[in-house]
Structure formats: C-alpha cells, structure tokens
C-alpha cells in the first residue's frame, strides 16, 4: 500500500464542517495536498564547530506541504472508492452525520469532516506534529466514451506541455516511448535538462491521468485531463516546487508533436555531421571547490558520416602555482532519435548518454549535455553553443 493510503489508515480526526453530505454524494474528490504542522521548542544551531540544539523562548510553528495523489469517489449512500492515482481501487463503507465523515476498512476506520468545498482528514502523528490531507471536487470531465484514451493511444508519442511561463511545467517535452520508457526535455533560456524516466496512465471513469517518474531528480508528476481538442489534451496539475507553500492548481495543455519521417531525419543528420567546437566555455569551474584557474578550455564533438563520434573535453587547471593538464575523450556511435530532439551517444561499453538538440543549422549548433567539471564534482546545465 502506498504512503498516501497509509496516511488515511492512521486515524484522522477533526475539522469544522459547514455542509451536509447531500452535496458530496456522487462526486469524485481529488487530494490537493498534504499539510504537515510541526511545533518546535528547539532548533538546530549550525553556527559553531559542533551541531547542537538550542531551546527557543517560545514555540515555533512550521508548516510543510506535500503533493498527494488520491481520489475519493462516493458511489452511493453507503460506499466510497478510495484510490491511489495509478493504483487499484479500494471499496469501503462510509457514514456521514452532521457533516462528520467516517470511512470503515477491514482493519480500521478513518474520520474526517466535509465542508462545501473541502473534505479534510487530520492525523496526530506525535505531541508536536500533525498531518492533514485536503480533498476538493475534481473538474468535470468532458471526455466521452469514444474519447477515453488508453495507454496504447499515448504509447510511442511525442508531447509538448503548454503552460503559463511561470509554471514549473513551462517548456517541458515528454517522449512517451514503448515499454513505458520516458524521455524528458526542459529548456528555459540558457539552461536545459534531459533525463530518462517511466510513465503510465490511469483512466478512472472518464478522467484520464498521466503519471510519470523522473529517475534522477527524483520526482513524480500527475496530470489530470478532462477535455480534448484535436491533438491536444486539456487538463491541470497540482504544482509543487516549495515545501513551505501549498501546491497550486495549474492549467496545462499537452499537444501532440509528430515524430520526424526518414527524409526529415536524414536532412538533420547531414547538418549534424562535422567537427563542432564550443564557443561559450561550457565546462563548469568554481575555485571554491578546487583549482584556482581554468585555462585553455576545449569542448569538441565530431560526428562522422559512419555514425561514429568523438567527444573531447580538456583544459589546464592551476592550483597554488601547480599546473595540471586534464583531458577526457569519449568515443562510440551516435544516432538521432525519431523526434529529432535527442542525439544518443553510445560508448564502447554500450552506455547511452543523451544530448538534447536545441538548434541546428549548417554552421551553428546548440545542445544541452550535462557536462561534468574536469576535476571537481560539479555539473553544468547551461546550453552549449557550438560552431563548425
């Protein structure tokens, strides 16, 4: 059982109610966030050489917010479905009196309160900590039976997320490949990100959910879609980028972008073939973490017509007047994926590195490649600008 479901099982208690169950029945509710409240009498002091706890003059209250991925579906006057999004349904009995909600399981029960706009459960974790999980009514879905989108519809497709420029999802592209493999691209001005992940869908009644996991960050995201417009899925998601703020509901559109055909890929490949060198010094360097200076910096990639590549990263590091030349060479095979957005570098050990292709002309190349420093454990997310 998932952690969100375990939260429900722990015995939530009390919140003020304003509304009768008559307005709750036959509705589907989605958990918008989980709120954790901590009351502290002491804090950690990191100012000295030793870590120590310092007592406060008064109790300090802190609030932390987390995403939550649960549905409540009230079937009738007696039964409710509790469902982790992307997981199995759990059918339970419930009662409600004067707005007080009680859901009964085989191994226990949970209690909550219903208001006009919210269902809230509260759990006392300890003397100083409580957790509350908040539910609100889900958007009405306009997907018809013929529009119910299953996993096979999304498999092996390429999508761009259109959202507000301040949205966490702004500039994200999702490549939903076979066997639930996912590739993620995010490019924002001079910085980029790409990675692998996995994805799946959950179609509950006429509500479509897309769930994906980023294997590096790591993070889980859930998109809810309730309308279609040609090749666009319309929906929303609860975005959460700061643990001290509530996740916000953001409207998004997921637009289908066709993969390239063989002719289009051949044109891109012909432009890519050549000897490229960076013009914006992309190798990360910070004297705080190691050497005093980095000079003679080079970053070059050769793509040849036989689909072989050679990547060179080099420079001269100086530390306390000691000069050290550093060089890193990687060789192997390369290929463009069918979206035209990824260059796969396959080295001699069959390890795959992804390069995101941002711009390509006859003489200009802009890529994102998570490049590591020559000596320090530093990485750069800057876009690399290159010339032939």
Tens place of pLDDT for every residue, the chain, 388 residues?
444 444 444 433 333 333 344 445 568 999 999 999 988 887 777 676 677 777 877 888 889 999 889 999 999 999 999 999 999 999 999 999 988 999 998 878 888 999 889 999 988 888 889 999 999 999 999 987 655 566 667 888 999 988 766 677 777 899 999 889 999 988 777 788 888 899 999 999 989 999 999 887 778 899 999 998 888 999 999 987 778 888 889 999 999 988 899 999 999 999 999 999 999 999 998 888 778 899 999 999 999 999 999 999 999 999 888 999 999 999 999 999 999 999 999 998 899 999 999 899 999 999 998 888 888 788 888 899 999 9
Residues 6 or more apart in contact with residue 330 via CB below 8 angstroms: 309, 310, 311, 345, 347, 353
145-256 belongs to CATH 3.90.1530: no
Strands 248-256 and 232-239: antiparallel
Q: Which residues make up the CATH 2.40.128.370 domain(s) of the chain?
A: 262-387
Its pTM stands at: 0.82
Residue 65 is encoded by which pair of tokens? 């917010």
The tokens describing 360, both together, are 């390509």
Rounded Cα gap, residues 317 and 263, in angstroms: 45
- Do residues 369 and 309 make contact, with C-beta atoms less than 8 angstroms apart? no
Contacts with 201 (C-beta within 8 Å, 6 or more apart), sequence order: 149, 150, 151, 154, 208, 209, 210, 211
Phi-psi region of 7 (alpha: psi -120 to 50; beta: other; left: phi over 0): alpha
Identify the pLDDT of residue 269.
96
227, 234 contact by CB (below 8 A): yes
Give the pLDDT score at 1. 45
CA distance 333 to 275: 15
Cis ω for the linkage preceding 203 (within 30 of 0): no
CATH topology of domain 262-387: Lipocalin (2.40.128)
| DSSP bridge partners of 203 | 208
H runs (alpha helix) in the chain:
3-9, 151-154, 262-272
- Give the chain's end-to-end CA distance (angstroms, integer): 55
């Amino acid at each position: 059982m998932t952690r969100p479901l375990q939260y429900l099982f722990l015995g939530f208690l009390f919140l003020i109610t304003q509304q009768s169950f008559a307005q709750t029945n036959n509705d589907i509710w989605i958990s918008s966030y989980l709120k954790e409240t901590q009351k502290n009498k002491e804090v950690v002091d990191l100012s000295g050489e030793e870590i120590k706890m310092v007592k406060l003059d008064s109790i300090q209250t802190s609030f932390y917010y987390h995403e939550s991925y649960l549905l409540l579906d009230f079937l009738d006057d007696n039964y409710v479905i509790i469902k982790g999004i992307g997981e199995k349904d759990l059918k339970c009995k419930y009662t409600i009196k004067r707005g007080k909600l009680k859901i009964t399981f085989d191994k226990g029960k949970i209690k909550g309160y219903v208001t006009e706009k919210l269902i809230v459960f509260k759990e006392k974790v300890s003397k100083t900590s409580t957790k509350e999980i908040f539910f609100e009514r889900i958007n009405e879905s306009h997907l018809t039976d013929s529009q119910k989108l299953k996993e096979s519809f999304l498999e092996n497709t390429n999508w761009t997320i259109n959202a507000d420029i301040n949205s966490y999802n702004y500039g994200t592209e999702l490549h939903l490949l076979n066997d639930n493999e996912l590739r993620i691209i995010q490019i924002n001005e001079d910085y980029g990100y790409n990675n692998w992940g996995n994805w799946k869908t959950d179609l509950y009644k006429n509500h479509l959910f897309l769930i994906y996991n980023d294997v590096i960050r790591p993070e889980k995201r859930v998109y809810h879609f309730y309308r279609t417009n040609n090749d666009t899925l319309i929906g929303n998601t609860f975005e959460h980028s700061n643990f001290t703020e509530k996740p916000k509901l953001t409207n998004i559109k997921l637009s289908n972008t066709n993969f390239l055909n063989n002719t289009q890929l051949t044109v891109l490949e012909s432009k890519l073939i050549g000897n490229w060198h960076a013009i914006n010094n992309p190798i990360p360097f910070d004297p705080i973490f190691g050497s005093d200076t980095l000079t003679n910096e080079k970053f070059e990639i050769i793509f040849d017509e036989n689909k072989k590549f050679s990547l060179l990263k080099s420079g001269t590091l100086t530390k306390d007047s000691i000069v050290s030349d550093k060089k890193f060479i990687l060789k192997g095979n390369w290929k463009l994926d069918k979206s035209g957005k990824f260059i796969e570098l396959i080295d001699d050990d069959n390890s795959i590195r992804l390069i995101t292709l941002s711009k390509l002309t006859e003489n200009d190349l802009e890529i994102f490649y998570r490049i590591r420093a020559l000596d320090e454990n530093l990485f750069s997310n800057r876009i690399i600008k290159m010339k032939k």
